[in-house]
Chains A and B, each alone.
Chain A
Amino acid sequence: DTGVSQDPRHKITKRGQNVTFRCDPISEHNRLYWYRQTLGQGPEFLTYFQNEAQLEKSRLLSDRFSAERPKGSFSTLEIQRTEQGDSAMYLCASSLVPEKNTEAFFGQGTRLTVV
C-alpha cells in the first residue's frame, strides 16, 4: 500500500462548472477525512466518514458540496457550480480507529483553481 492517493492532482475549471475529486485511503483504514487548505492557512476540516457513514460536516461545506464514500473504501468530493472562492487545495486523510496511537495519513491533495 502506497498511502493515501488523490486524483486529480490539479484541476482548473471555469466558474459555474462542476468538479469531482477522488480519494483512495489506505486500504485497512475505516475513517476518511476531507480538508480544505487555502493560501496562507492551515487545513480546515470539511467532513469525515466512518466506513460508508458520513458522521460530521463542517459549516464550511455549503449545499454545493457533497461527499460520498459508497462502499466504505474510496471517497468522492463534488463541488457544483464552482465559485472563485472554492479555489484551494483539497486534502484527504485516512486513519484507523479506535487505535490508541491514532494518526491521520494525508494524501498529496488536489489543487483546484476556478477561473
Chain B
Amino acid sequence: AQSVTQLDSQVPVFEEAPVELRCNYSSSVSVYLFWYVQYPNQGLQLLLKYLSGSTLVESINGFEAEFNKSQTSFHLRKPSVHISDTAEYFCAVSEVGEYGNKLVFGAGTILRVKS
C-alpha cells in the first residue's frame, strides 16, 4: 500500500515570491508521482508527473518538481508565483504496473498568493 503526506495544509506567499510545496510518500513498490491542481469550483487538473527518466519534471506554467528516491519526496516548486496560482495542490502516487494508475492522494496544500 502507498501513502502520501503533504506537510503543509496552507502556504501563504506574496506574489512574485518563490514557493515550495512539500510531498513525501511511502511505498513498498515503485511508483509514479503526480501533482494535481484544483482551482475553486473546478475539477482536478494534472500539473506534472514523474514516470521515469529525468528526476526533474516541469509544467508549462513554470512549476517544477524533483523526484528524490532516497528521501521519498516529490516537492513542487515555483520560483515566482502569480495571483492566478492560488489553488489547492494535491500530490499523488500510483503503483507502477498494468493496474498501476489507481491514485493515492495526499490531503492537499492550499496555496494562497497575496498581492
| Contact mask for chain B residues 37-75; partner A; CB cutoff 8 A; 1 contact, 0 none | 000001111100101000000000000000000000000
A11-19, A69-77, A105-113 - interface stretch: A105-113
Per-residue A-contact encoding for B69-112, CB less than 8 Å = 1, 0 else = 00000000000000000000010101000111111111110000
Contact A106 B45 (CB under 8 A): yes
Contacting residues of chain A (63-115) with chain B, CB-CB under 8 angstroms: 91, 93, 95, 97-98, 100-109
The number of chain B residues with a CB under 8 A from chain A is: 26
Cα–Cα distance between A95 and B6 once the two chains are bound (Å): 25
A42 touches B43 (CB 8 A): no
Q: Is the CB of A31 within 8 A of B43?
A: no
Please name the residue on chain A nearest to B104 by beta carbon.
A45
B102 touches A45 (CB 8 A): yes
Instruction: Check: A33 CB closer than 8 A to any chain B CB.
Output: yes
Quick one: which of B43, B102, B105 contacts A48, CB cutoff 8 A? B102
What is A's interface to B at a CB cutoff of 8 Å?
A: 4, 31, 33, 35, 40-45, 48, 55-56, 91, 93, 95, 97-98, 100-109
